[in-house]
Amino acid sequence: MHYAWIIACTGTLTLILTTGFGKLSYSLILPSMKSGLALTYTQAGLIGTANMVGYLPLALIGGFVAVRFGSRRTIFISLMVMGISLFLTGLSDSFAFALFMRFITGMGNGAAVVPMMALTAPWFCARKRGVAAGIITAGIGIGLSLGGLFIPFLVTRFGPDGWRYAWFVLGGIVFAFSFVSYAFLRDSPAEKGTSMYGGVEERLHLSCQGGGAVSIFSAWAEVTKRKELWNLGFLYFIFGFSYIIYMTFIVAYLVGEGGLVPQQAGKIFAVLGFASIVSGVLWGWISDSIGRRYGLALAYVTLALACLICVFWRSSAGFYLSATVFGLTLACGPSIMSATIGDLMGEKLVPAAIGIITIVFGIGQALGPFVGGWMKDSTGAFAGVFMLSAVALLVGAAGALMLMKSGEVQFSKT
């Protein structure tokens, strides 16, 4: 087995630890933690926001640090920081301390995810890069599912302080597995005496491909002048804006306007989570097969269809179908975008480029719930909110079709 697959599987582990345990676990612990610290809903929301505030700048900075010092070391240190901050969150005795710890966790998360996604570029040729990115992003769904299994058990098993034990366990797991990640990750195939998986790849019309070291400042100058990067950033903004609207409001919509009880809505959401496990691999493979432009356009149309189904087919069958379709497409953005960046940029510049478009993605992700909530308050219904998400995605699909044709990468089998 080529060592590139070890890199991909270690990437799955990294996404389990970062996004699954470090980010998405908060919603599972929140009710007990809110009660234990006597938080208001506003404070609880701010703690969640602090995680994203820490994530966004470090997604950018972490990408440039990885360009200079290597993805392996950057990921290792970031995971260690995450593990310590998660553990310390369990010691929180005030809103301010919990807020700060979630901010630090977000910083570690951003600085680990971007370099990890960037490692598909040196290890996989373009024809295999989408599947590799999909394998890595499968960690999001797996982490969400694993957390859903053991975190509620810990919270209920240890009574009022169960939320503290949940943070202790999560912190210990992330810290311990940071060393596993470091043991298996490598920055380039040369470190294992091998070559890129899938054949030798020659990039045309790209600069900064020399063997010398790249500084943070030279990487910034080189990456930010690429028009293609900003086009991809716009499409990633649309994905962040649209998908988070669905994820934020779907349960409230099912209970408030869909006529379902919370338990039924929870089951539908669980179906979405399990379906999302294979979404990255599925859409990575599709983009490898039919091209990044068409793969991304098809993914956006599919997500738009899921939004429209939940509006126009208001029944249990329609809601389950919408959640399944949405879940099967949920990780299309990270998998296709990281593969596309790998196609267009030099190996040394990939972490920096992914960091920049992740910032744009995060801005869309921050705006989505605000705009959706404002529309709900203004109209009194969620239909317009999901319609807005669908329209934005269709605009994104049209934009994807206008992306430059993938002629920058040529292959020759070894």
User: pLDDT at residue 200 above 80?
Assistant: no
Q: What is the pTM of this model?
A: 0.74
pLDDT in tens, 334-371: 888 877 887 777 666 777 777 788 888 888 877 887 78
**Average confidence (pLDDT) over 27-32:** 77
Distance between CA atoms of residues 307 and 309, nearest Å? 6
Note the pLDDT tens digit of each residue in 341-350: 877 776 667 7
What's the CA gap between 64 and 70, in Å, rounded?
9
Distance CA 81, CA 349 (A): 24
Q: 234, 294 in Cβ contact below 8 A?
A: no
Exposure letters 99-135 (e unless 16+ CB within 10 A, then b)? bbbbbbbbbbbbbbbbbbbbbbbbbbbbbbbbbbbbb
Residue 257 is given by DSSP the state: T
Contact 361, 345 (CB under 8 A): no
Distance CA 275, CA 273 (A): 5
Long-range contacts of 319-322, Cβ-Cβ distance < 8 Å, separation of 24 or more: 319/254, 319/258, 319/260, 319/268, 320/268, 320/271
Phi, psi of 197 (to 5 degrees): -75, 130
pLDDT digits (tens, 9 = 90+) for 288-302: 888 888 999 999 999
**Token match 């939320």: residue?**
163
Per residue in 59-93, pLDDT (tens digit) is 878 877 887 888 999 999 999 999 999 999 999 99
- Domain 227-403: which CATH number of 3.30.70.1070, 1.10.3720.10, 1.20.1250.20, 1.10.510.10: 1.20.1250.20
pLDDT for the residue numbered 217: 54
Separation in Å, CA 358 to CA 21, 232, 269, 303, 363: 20, 10, 25, 20, 9
pLDDT band (50, 70, 90) for residue 171: very high
More confident residue, 410 or 117: 117
Give residue 407's pLDDT: 39
Measured CA angle at 310 (ends 305, 314), to 5 deg: 140
DSSP string, 262-280: HHHHHHHHHHHHHHHTTHH
Q: Is the pLDDT of residue 153 over 80?
A: yes
Q: pLDDT category, 304, cuts 50, 70, 90?
A: very high
Number of H helices and number of E strands within the chain?
Answer: 17, 2
The tens digit of pLDDT for each residue in 246-287 reads 877 787 788 778 888 767 877 787 788 788 888 888 888 898
Q: Residue 173: pLDDT band by 50, 70, 90 thresholds?
A: very high
Rg of the chain over all Cα atoms, to the nearest angstrom: 21
358 versus 411: the higher-pLDDT residue is: 358
Q: What is the pLDDT of residue 206?
A: 40
SS3 412: strand
Whole-number Å distance between alpha carbons of 161 and 165: 7
Distance CA 144, CA 274 (A): 9
- CATH fold, domain 3-187, is Growth Hormone; Chain: A; (1.20.1250)
The two three-digit tokens of residue 47, written as one number: 């703690």
Mean pLDDT score of the chain? 83
At residue 160, the pLDDT reads 86
Nearest to 393 by CA among 313, 320, 333, 318: 333
Q: What is the pLDDT of residue 406?
A: 43
Q: In which residue ranges of the chain is CATH 1.20.1250.20 found?
A: 3-187, 227-403
